[in-house]
Amino acid sequence: MDTTQRTEQQRSAEQRRRELLEAADRVVLRDGPGASMNAIAAEAGITKPILYRHFGDKGGLYAALAKRHTDALLDSLRAALDAPAERRERVEATLDTYLAAIELRPQVYRFLMHPAEGSSAGEPGFDVGRHSAPLLRRLGEELAKVIADRVDLGPESQQLARVWGHGIVGMMHAAGDWWLGERPCSRSELVRSLADLLWGRLAAVADRVGGPGF
């Protein structure tokens, strides 16, 4: 097989993989964590063994979908951070971008972050921490790079940027997960409250009352 044939085969395989991921996305949007390999194969018009050939197992498909959606989310977060606005406005825009993404596609969010909810006979759910933790770590590392590139943090800036990146992602994830499940307030109210916390309101309150922050 010559180089041209190998290149064409590689392009064909990549195209087929994209088509399968798009079919999987449609099923996940419909079924959330309950999306099964059988349903995804049926949506794609193939048999389950062919789906396994491309992704190995449901864990492999999950990882591919997670990368697909994380890449898109990171692009949106970078755009919000780079918007021509005051820093507080960019912070709020970044928080709102994350919350808007999980609000727009809650079934996708639940599939990625709560896959065990979809466990069924013959197709057990994932260990949530084992599968969602790498996704959150990637978000934290990517946000840390953005912070380090855009904010002068002085000595030990790389380490501080990583602490902030992972801390902010952890806050967004925990608060967003709670908010999506209970809807105790509007998205704009949650954004404003989280931005207040990041903006030092906790320290400001402690200074005003003359006592500890908690």
Tell me the whole-structure pTM to 2 decimals. 0.80
Contact present, 167 and 141 (Cβ < 8 Å): no
Q: How confident is the model at residue 180 (pLDDT cuts 50, 70, 90)?
A: very high
Count CA atoms within 13 Å of residue 192 on its CB side. Answer: 5
* 15: three-class secondary structure by DSSP: helix
Contact present, 36 and 123 (Cβ < 8 Å): yes
What was the pLDDT predicted at 131?
61
CA neighbor of 54 nearest in space, from 91, 8, 14:
14
Q: Report how far apart, in Å, the C-alpha atoms of 88 and of each of 94, 120, 130, 194, 197 are.
A: 10, 45, 34, 11, 12
Average pLDDT over residues 72-100: 89
CATH fold of 3-209, please? Tetracycline Repressor; domain 2 (1.10.357)
Contact present, 161 and 153 (Cβ < 8 Å): yes
What was the pLDDT predicted at 156?
83
What was the pLDDT predicted at 9?
72
**201 or 106, which is more confident:** 106
Return the amino acid letter for 203: A
Q: Residue written as tokens 């491309």?
A: 54
Q: What is the pLDDT of residues 17-70, one digit of tens each?
A: 899 999 999 999 999 888 889 999 999 999 999 999 888 888 888 888 888 888
Residue 103: phi and psi, rounded to 5, are -70, -40
Question: What angle is formed at CA 121 by the lines to CA 116 and CA 125, rounded to 5 degrees?
Answer: 15
Q: What is the pLDDT of residues 144-174, one digit of tens each?
A: 988 888 777 788 888 988 999 999 999 999 9
* Average pLDDT over the chain, rounded to an integer: 83
Q: How many CB atoms lie within 10 A of CB 212?
A: 6
Return the amino acid letter for 81: L
Instruction: Please name the residues in contact with 181: beta carbons below 8 A apart, sequence gap of 6 or more.
Output: none
**196 or 10, which is more confident:** 196
**85 or 175, which is more confident:** 175
3-state secondary structure 69-118: HHHHHHHHHHHHHCCCCCHHHHHHHHHHHHHHHHHHCHHHHHHHHCHHHH
Task: Report long-range pairs for 126-133 (Cβ below 8 Å, ≥24 apart).
Answer: 126/58, 126/59, 126/62, 131/59, 131/62, 131/66
What was the pLDDT predicted at 138?
87
Percent of the chain with pLDDT over 90: 38
